[in-house]
Amino acid sequence: MSTLEAGMTRDEAFALLQEHNKDPFHIEHAETVEQTMRYFAREYDPDNVEFWGLVGLLHDLDWEEHDDEPELHTIYAAKDIEAAGGTPELIRAIQSHTSDFNPELPKPELQMEKILFATEELTGLIGAAIVMRPSKSVMDFEVKSLKKKFKDKRFAAGVSRDVIRSGAEMLGWELDELFARTIEAMQSFAPDKDTFVPAEG
């Protein structure tokens, strides 16, 4: 496997994230997706754990500032990432997760891109479900509980179930497998950060 160059360090990427995101919920989401990506990278692409992590960290860089223009999501980010030294490979991987909003953006092809597409919305659904639990922890969260929340379209209504379904299809995984593996990914880093911040508003 070839090593992918991101063109920036984790510290530089995090500084860029903080420059464009002030809401703690968005920063928490970025870090959750970053750690989820690192978890899967250790299995599928161990030479590029850092790259996968930065893709996760910066995947929603422009969302807070431009959430009223979903079709341009990641297009604004591309300019900011490029200006900060980010490589075309980093930008492409990030843009692939919004190809459902904008057909001109690249579709997920690499395993990394498919996993970002499949898990990004799902981590949000899991996070929202955990906030409602007495433990506020992912450590005792089970697939059957997630399935109930997934079926309840009023719960975390902003989370696209269609994106999660098509992400599972891209990976060739059953929904249950995607659910189980994403919960496991979040459990792998939750002991360090075991409470999830509820979205404001």
Say what the pLDDT of residue 194 is.
Answer: 47
Model confidence band, residue 135 (pLDDT cutoffs 50, 70, 90) = confident
Q: Which two tokens stand for residue 152?
A: 């309840």
User: Does residue 58 contact residue 81 with C-beta atoms inside 8 Å?
Assistant: yes
Say what the pLDDT of residue 201 is.
Answer: 36
- Is the predicted pLDDT of residue 157 greater than 50, yes or no? yes
Which whole number is the average pLDDT over 143-168? Answer: 96
Which whole number is the average pLDDT over 53-76? Answer: 94
Please report, for the chain, the start and end positions of each structural domain, with discontinuous segments joined by +: 8-186
Say what the pLDDT of residue 193 is.
Answer: 53
Class of domain 8-186: mainly alpha
Q: What length does the chain have?
A: 201
User: Mean pLDDT over all residues of the chain?
Assistant: 92
Say what the pLDDT of residue 142 is.
Answer: 96
In terms of phi and psi (left: phi > 0; alpha: psi -120 to 50; beta: otherwise), the region of 159 is beta
Burial of 50 (0-12, 13-18, 19+ CB in 10 A): middle
- Is the predicted pLDDT of residue 198 greater than 60, yes or no? no
Which whole number is the average pLDDT over 141-161? Answer: 95
